[in-house]
Structures are given as structure tokens and as C-alpha cells.
Amino acid sequence: MKKKKIMKLVSGIILMFVGLHFHNVQVDAKTIMDTTKDKTYQIDLDQDGKKEKVKLKQCSIDDLDYNYYGIIYVDGKKAYTTPKDIYAYDINMKIITSGDQVFINVSQSSDNGNLEFNKLLSFNGTTLDEVIDFKKVEPGLRSCEITSATKDKIVVSCESMPCQLASIKWKSTYLVNGNAVKIKSHVHKVKSGIEGRSISTLETNRTVTFTSEIGSKKVAFKLGAGKKVKLLSITTKKDKIYGCFQYGKKKGYVRVDPYHETAYFKNIYKYLAG
């Protein structure tokens, strides 16, 4: 009898933990809600206790096949129109909940998934205002997507393709305070966006000068061809990306971004196709 009671107790505890696990997954999933075009969603955008009806309509740009702009309606009225001078494919809309704040996330990409815009909007009672433009905050983004949201934080998974490194990926953390959103840091650890490839160690293919500070002309060290350096991090600053590299005990910076085509390292070119 004791054995049966113990087994029942153990089973009950297991079921309780399983229930809690699935409950948490369900709650987490609600913080990021994918939507379907032309479908109406009811959600309290301004947290006033009354749910608004939200719908995204995708519209064709005249005489341009497969190029669109979008109109977001709130309670049947136009609340936001995406740019009509950006020629790209399907528009995506997500509803993001961060604590008590609800945002609309709208994005659009063109050929090869190249990001055209990715913005966060908030409802002011009449229209949707732009809170942040992720593409403007960090330069050279080839793609980015909100992957998690908590009470005071939003995490965005990013990818860029500097000509000096090829595809790199990182996660940017944004701090949320009411309807104000700002990036926590412009310094990021990165990994290769190409499966099975490591970018932690790179070999120079020419003489490369590394500076002591970002954007500085002060030389930290200079290396000839055939030297191996370790990539520590990147810094996204204004319209540029800089890599922080280590050689022995020395650390230095060099500009690495999609708009700066000078090659620094061996065998990068074969990863740049497309």
C-alpha cells in the first residue's frame, strides 16, 4: 500500500511539473504573435481595458508584380501605412507583448531575404507611431527578427554579410520602458551564419592595420599576410561595423561592413556569393 501511495505521489509531482512546463511555454508564446494578412485580431493595444480590432491589408504597387505596401487598420480606420517607395515582397506583422506594453512589429524583405525595413509601432489612441526602426539602429542588417520578449526586454536576432567576414549572426537586446525602446549595447559576440564554419580565427591575406580605438588613426598593431587573429566581437556604430580582433595579447579594431569592400582575410570570397 505504501508503495502504491508513493508511486501516486511521484506521478502527481511529475504531472504537476509537466503542466507547469506547458503552461510557461504557452505564456511565452503569447508574447510574440504571428498574424495573417486580412485577418482581424482583437487585442488591447493601449491597455485601457478595451480591445481594439487590428488588421493588416497588403496592397500591390501599381505595375510592379510581387511588390507591395501595407495598411494597418485599427477598429476599421487606417492607423499606419508602410512606405510605398520600398519595392519588396510580402509584408509581415507580429503583435509583441512586453510587460504591460503591446507593440505592432511590421517588416518587409526583398530578394534573397534582404531586409528592407523592420519597425516597432505603438498605438496612441488614434494612429500607430514608430517607436524604433531596427535597421536604422544597427547598420548593414541583411535580416533581423524579434525572437523573444519579456517584461522589460526584447531580443532581436540579426544577420549581416560584411565583405571581410561573410555571414555573421548575433543577438541584440533592446530595453523596454513603457513605449520607449532602446538598444542595450552596440557591442556583440558573433558567430558564423554559415553552418559548419567558424570565424573565431581568421588569417590575413594582406597587410592589415588595426587601430587602438574605433574610428581612430592610432595604430594598435600591424600585421602582414599569413597572420592569424581572433575575432572577439563587433561594434555597430552609426552607419559602420567594426571588428575587435586579438593577436597574442594585443587587441585592435578594423572596419568590417557590407559597404567597405577591402578584403582582409583568406577564403572569405567563396562565402559571399548571393
Q: What are phi and psi of 89, to 5 degrees?
A: -90, -150
Alpha-carbon span 235 to 135, nearest angstrom: 15
**pLDDT the model gives residue 197:** 87
- Residue 270 confidence class, pLDDT cut points 50, 70, 90: low
Say whether pLDDT at 252 is over 90.
yes
Amino acid at 164: Q
Say whether pLDDT at 265 is over 60.
yes
Q: Which three cell numbers stand for residue 80?
A: 499606419
CB distance 141 to 193 below 8 Å: no
List pLDDT tens digits, range 117-151: 999 999 999 999 999 999 999 989 999 999 999 99
List pLDDT tens digits, range 45-54: 998 899 999 9
**pLDDT the model gives residue 273:** 53
Task: Give the mean pLDDT of 39-47.
Answer: 93
CB distance 188 to 248 below 8 Å: no
Alpha-carbon span 94 to 105, nearest angstrom: 5
Say whether pLDDT at 244 is over 90.
yes
Domains and CATH numbers, the chain: 33-192 (no CATH), 201-271 (2.30.30)
**pLDDT the model gives residue 195:** 86
Reference 270, options 190, 181, 197, 218; nearest CA is: 197
- The least confident of 62-66, 175-179, 231-235 is 62-66
Say whether pLDDT at 251 is over 60.
yes
Q: Are strands 228-237 and 187-188 parallel, antiparallel or unpaired?
A: antiparallel
The helix (run of H) or strand (run of E) holding residue 3 is: helix 2-30
Q: Which three cell numbers stand for residue 182?
A: 532602446
Say whether pLDDT at 17 is over 60.
no
Say whether pLDDT at 172 is over 50.
yes
**pLDDT the model gives residue 111:** 82
- Residue 24 confidence class, pLDDT cut points 50, 70, 90: very low
Q: Identify the three-state secondary structure at position 188.
A: strand
Q: Rounded to 10 degrees, what is the CA torsion of 209, 215, 217, 220? A: -50
**pLDDT the model gives residue 132:** 97
